[in-house]
């Protein structure tokens, strides 16, 4: 692909969708991985959780590369999402006095209409989340002897302690589940939509894909929101 | 004896010209339930002309759902609440005596209002000119059965070819995207051997023209399929995206 092609791909209405779709699905894979990691704390306890986080840190350059890729996916996804939203506002400056969906086979839903809102909230959440945990006490740029532990003779960050502390605050314990429900709302339309954006659908596949996308969105939201609630209501004690 | 006509209250978008500001104006009309929606508007216009007022401008030609000229947004839905019909095929019997109906033009920057309910759909013509055709050399006519087309492809191509270019897809799309219109043409021609030689250029040019015209991007709401008088499936859009990727990969 030469340079002019690459530029026109990212500016093209179809190229943009393909990239939002790829980055969206990449982020879905990431959140599933992240969710499974979190559940270790609930299912196997603090030591296993800390050991898992330590293992990830131990990947060193591989982890940095993955993080860089993840960052790129987020940046592309967000920039394109905002670009598509701005473009649609320009494409109809004069709104309808009365507008409603014609119903099936339309897939327009509160979820599909609110991608920019749920996405925007996720973006704000992401910053708070990274500051609270990844770059929180005991993390990079924030050494803190209170958040160090030893598991099977190995010294490592006590991430579990931080997580348990945070989710004893009602703001975290209840704020997180709300945001995770909104992630579910984003993905209710998002997962199906990404496949359609990649051209990987046909009329026979679509209903099943839409249903499975919704189910996966629900499972992801639930998988994330049980942990804060479990901790707040004393499950970890 | 029961009343044979029905009283319909209308709120119609009136706009004197492209640069004028418009507004909804209230009218009341006595319609016969067997009339089509456009015939009901004809009755209104006759009343207006008799009163010396300007009639409401609206587009139409065939009035049998095949030309794609007509199209207004009826109570928030392009071509009205009945699926798979153009507004010329919507009949007043679906309404009740005393109903109020809001009538607006297609709204998109790429479809500027000319007057009242008439919009300029020239953007669609320019998308077609960009690549929605097959080039044929002049000379002696080819034998009709020279190019075999597998039956499933022919059927599917026909489903996409059913597009009448009315613009309802754009009007209904929350993003004012022309993806279904453009994709229907691309998918139709991509399925046929006649369309194959130019498929790569076609998808690149038509997609870029779509953007030049100022249509929004598709967010896969699928509202277009629900209002399309021909029920064209958004699978056309999926196919357009596959065509686009193939063209990019082949383009080197
Ligand atoms: C955990 C994070 C996220 C995941 C897993 C995710 C996932 C997805 C997926 C799968 C899609 C569908 C892509 C498509 O239609 O082709 C999507 C669309 C979208 N995302 Fe996200 N997303 C995330 C975060 C964000 C953020 C932070 C924003 C910020 C603004 C955002 C804004 C959007 C928008 C506006 C769309 C709709 C694009 C369109 O209209 O076609 N997303 N997302
Ligand atoms: S007037 Fe021809 S389709 Fe309605």
B63 close to ligand 2 (CB < 6 Angstrom): yes
Round to whole Å and give the CA distance between B24 and B102: 8
Distance of CA A4 to the CA centre of its chain: 32
Q: Which of A148, A173, A169, A165 is nearest to A50 (CA)?
A: A148
CATH number at residue B183: 1.10.1060.10
Round to whole Å and give the CA distance between A125 and A137: 18
Interface residue B233 vs chain A (CB under 8 A): yes
Structural contact between residues B238 and B245, judged by C-beta atoms closer than 8 angstroms? no
CA–centroid distance, residue B179 to ligand 2 (Å): 21
Fold (CATH) for A3-92+108-235: 3 helical TM bundles of succinate and fumarate reductases (1.20.1300)
Residue range A164-169: average pLDDT? 96
Question: Model confidence over B177-230: pLDDT tens digits?
Answer: 999 999 999 999 999 999 999 999 999 999 999 999 999 999 999 999 999 999
**Helices vs strands, H then E, count in chain A:** 9, 2
- The total number of structural domains that make up chain B: 2
Question: Model confidence over A193-228: pLDDT tens digits?
Answer: 999 999 999 889 999 999 999 999 999 999 999 999
- Domain for residue B160, yes or no? yes
Interface residue B222 vs chain A (CB under 8 A): yes
Q: Whose CA is nearest to atom 32 of ligand 1?
A: A119
Query: A46-58 and A13-44 helices cross at what angle (nearest 10)?
Result: 140
Structure tokens at A127: 């910053």
Round to whole Å and give the CA distance between B215 and B150: 34
Counting ligands in written order, the one closest to the CA of A70 is: 1
Cβ neighbours around B21 below 10 Å, total: 7
B68 close to ligand 2 (CB < 6 Angstrom): yes
Looking at the structure, tell me whether residues B234 and B170 fall in a common domain.
yes
Mutate to test the pocket of ligand 2, among B69, B72, B84, B168 (most ligand atoms within 8 A of CB): B69
Band (pLDDT 50/70/90 cuts) for residue A36 is very high
Q: Residues 45 to 74 of B: which have CB under 8 A from any A CB?
A: 73
pLDDT of B105 above 60:
yes
Give Cβ neighbours of residue B158 (< 8 Å, ≥ 6 apart): none
Looking at the structure, tell me whether residues B201 and B83 fall in a common domain.
no
Cβ neighbours around A183 below 10 Å, total: 24
* pTM: predicted TM-score of the whole model, two decimal places: 0.94
Domain ranges of chain A: 3-92+108-235
Band (pLDDT 50/70/90 cuts) for residue B144 is confident
Looking at the structure, tell me whether residues B77 and B100 fall in a common domain.
yes
CA–centroid distance, residue B137 to ligand 2 (Å): 33
Task: Give the structural domain span for B71.
Answer: 6-115
Structure tokens at B246: 């193939």
Whether residue A15 and residue B225 make contact (CB cut-off 8 A), yes or no, is: no
Round to whole Å and give the CA distance between A222 and A49: 19
Q: What's the confidence (pLDDT) of residue B137?
A: 81
**Helices vs strands, H then E, count in chain B:** 8, 7
């Amino acid at each position: 692909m030469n340079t002019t092609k690459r530029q026109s791909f990212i500016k093209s209405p179809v190229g943009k969708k393909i990239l939002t779709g790829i980055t969206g699905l990449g982020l879905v894979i990431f959140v599933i991985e992240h969710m499974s990691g979190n559940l270790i704390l609930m299912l196997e306890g603090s030591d296993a959780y800390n050991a898992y986080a330590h293992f990830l840190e131990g990947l060193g350059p591989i982890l940095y590369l993955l993080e860089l890729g993840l960052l790129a996916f987020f940046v592309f996804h967000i920039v394109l999402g905002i670009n598509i939203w701005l473009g649609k506002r320009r494409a109809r400056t004069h709104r309808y006095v009365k507008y409603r969906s014609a119903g099936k086979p339309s897939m327009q839903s509160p979820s599909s209409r609110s991608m920019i809102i749920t996405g925007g909230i996720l973006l704000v959440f992401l910053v708070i989340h990274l500051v609270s945990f990844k770059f929180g006490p005991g993390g990079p740029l924030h050494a803190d002897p209170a958040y160090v532990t030893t598991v099977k003779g190995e010294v490592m960050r006590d991430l579990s302690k931080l997580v348990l502390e945070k989710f004893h605050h009602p703001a975290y314990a209840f704020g997180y589940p709300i945001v995770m429900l909104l992630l579910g709302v984003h993905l209710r339309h998002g997962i199906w939509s990404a496949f359609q954006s990649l051209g990987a659908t046909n009329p026979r596949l679509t209903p099943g894909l839409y249903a499975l996308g919704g189910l996966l969105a629900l499972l992801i939201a639930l998988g994330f929101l049980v942990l804060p609630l479990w901790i707040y209501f004393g499950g970890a004690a | 004896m029961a009343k044979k006509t029905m009283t319909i209250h209308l709120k119609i978008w009136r706009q004197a010209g492209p640069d004028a500001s418009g507004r909804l104006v209230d009218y009341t009309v006595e319609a016969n339930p067997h009339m089509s929606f456009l015939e009901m508007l004809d009755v209104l216009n006759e009343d207006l002309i008799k009163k010396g007022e300007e009639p409401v401008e609206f587009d139409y030609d065939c009035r049998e759902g095949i030309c794609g000229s007509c199209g207004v947004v009826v109570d928030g839905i392009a071509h009205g609440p009945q699926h798979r019909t153009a507004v010329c095929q919507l009949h007043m019997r679906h309404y009740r005596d005393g109903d109020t109906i809001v009538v607006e033009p297609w709204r998109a920057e790429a479809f500027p209002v000319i007057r009242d309910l008439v919009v300029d759909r020239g953007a669609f013509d320019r998308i077609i000119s960009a690549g929605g055709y097959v080039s044929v050399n002049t000379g002696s006519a080819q034998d009709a059965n020279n190019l075999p087309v597998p039956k499933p492809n022919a059927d599917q191509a026909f489903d996409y070819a059913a597009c009448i270019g009315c613009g309802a897809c754009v009007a209904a799309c929350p993003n004012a995207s022309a993806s279904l219109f453009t994709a229907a043409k691309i998918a139709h021609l991509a399925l046929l051997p006649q369309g194959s030689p130019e498929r790569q250029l076609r998808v690149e040019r038509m997609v870029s023209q779509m953007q030049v015209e100022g249509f929004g991007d598709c967010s896969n709401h699928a509202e277009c399929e629900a209002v399309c008088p021909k029920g064209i499936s958004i699978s056309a859009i999926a196919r357009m995206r596959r065509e686009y990727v193939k063209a990019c990969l082949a383009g080197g």
